[in-house]
Amino acid sequence: MKKYTEIKDISNLSETIKEAISLKKNPHEFETLGKHKTILLLFFNSSLRTRLSTEKAARNLGLEVMILNVNDAWNLEFEDGTIMNANTSEHIKEAAGVLSQYADIIAVRAFPSLTDKEKDQSEWVLSSFEKYATVPIINMESAMAHPLQALADAITISEFANTPKPKVVLSWAPHPKALPQAVANSFVEMMQLLDVDFSITHPEGYELDPEITKKTSINYNQEEALQDADFVYVKNWSSYSDYGKILSQDKHWMMTQKKLGTAKFMHCLPVRRNVVVEDAVLDGTNSLVLQQANNRTFAAQVVLKQILEEL
């Protein structure tokens, strides 16, 4: 693997999922693969799971880990030809060039603005690192995608599926803040690659990018959509068409134990209890949220292993 900025970078998904499950059984099998190599984790935004699971995965492979909260460094300029006489002190061209001398792999987390759709869609931060860094780039959640999360979700579904073609439903849920579409986008793309019966349910106005959802079934009736589901993946996202706006906070869309029935519950975390999902679901035996978070390590580890093998 040359980089992991999008799900398409995985050349063989089923083999990669198997390899991740194998790494989970024996996490230190390749503990010298990354010896004398360094990964740099760059955070433009907060993180708990991504930061620690990627660090753990890297250490399992013998990599040195450096972490930088970018807001502690110089303000970066991303535009070409700017007269830098205002708030930005360092251009991405120099920054990415410098960082590429310090690290063999650079991983980046940079959320969208949710105000400038065109700019967010261009993945201006992630794509600038891809353009100006000379080492492989990993997406730790960008404006429009969270491919490491989606890989962990695919691993989790593979582990817990009881039928050859499980029914998987992505259900929107209310949230007091405007959140990105990144997790939902990558989950949709991942489900389209797996042998699952996949559909999406959300209120009208919350349609994701049609270039991502393609022919995936969308049902505006949550109760109907959830019938006979094996896995229910709950996530809030802000409107894509009315970009970044909160159109509804209808609490009837919160996931409850009654609606979930016997289905397994999934969420990427962090999650707001009794807003997105009621306590009974998270505290119940059908919740897979901790297993998903655990699989973040092995999703990151299999990606790092495949990148290290090509360095």
State yes or no: 253 annotated in a binding site.
Answer: no
Is 186 a binding residue for ligand CP by CB under 6 A? The answer is no
From the list 86-94, 99-107, 197-205, 262-270, the region that binds ligand CP by CB under 6 A is: 262-270
Is 59 a binding residue for ligand CP by CB under 6 A? The answer is no
- Residue number with the smallest Cβ distance to ligand CP: 50
C-alpha radius of gyration, the chain, whole number: 19
State which residue, 147 or 225, has the beta carbon closest to ligand CP.
147
Instruction: Give the nearest distance from C-beta 294 to ligand CP in angstroms.
Output: 12
Angle between helices 147-160 and 289-308 (to 10 degrees): 120
Q: Which of 2, 35, 48, 283 binds ligand CP (CB under 6 A)?
A: 48
Helix segments in the chain, DSSP class H:
13-25, 49-60, 92-102, 117-121, 124-132, 147-160, 182-193, 210-213, 222-226, 257-260, 279-282, 289-308
State yes or no: 38 annotated in a binding site.
Answer: no
State which residue, 72 or 80, has the beta carbon closest to ligand CP.
72
Q: Which of 3, 49, 91, 202 binds ligand CP (CB under 6 A)?
A: 49
Site for ligand CP in 60-119 (CB under 6 A): none
State yes or no: 59 annotated in a binding site.
Answer: no
From the list 42-50, 117-125, 163-171, 231-239, the region that binds ligand CP by CB under 6 A is: 42-50
State yes or no: 121 annotated in a binding site.
Answer: no
Residue 205 Ramachandran class (φ > 0 left, ψ -120 to 50 alpha, else beta): left
Please name the helix (run of DSSP H) or strand (run of DSSP E) that holds residue 171, with its range, or none.
strand 167-172
State which residue, 176 or 270, has the beta carbon closest to ligand CP.
270
Residues that bind ligand CP (CB under 6 A): 47-50, 141, 149, 268-270
Annotated binding site for carbamoyl phosphate: 47-50, 74, 109, 146-149, 268-269, 296
Annotated binding site for N(2)-succinyl-L-ornithine: 141, 175, 235, 272
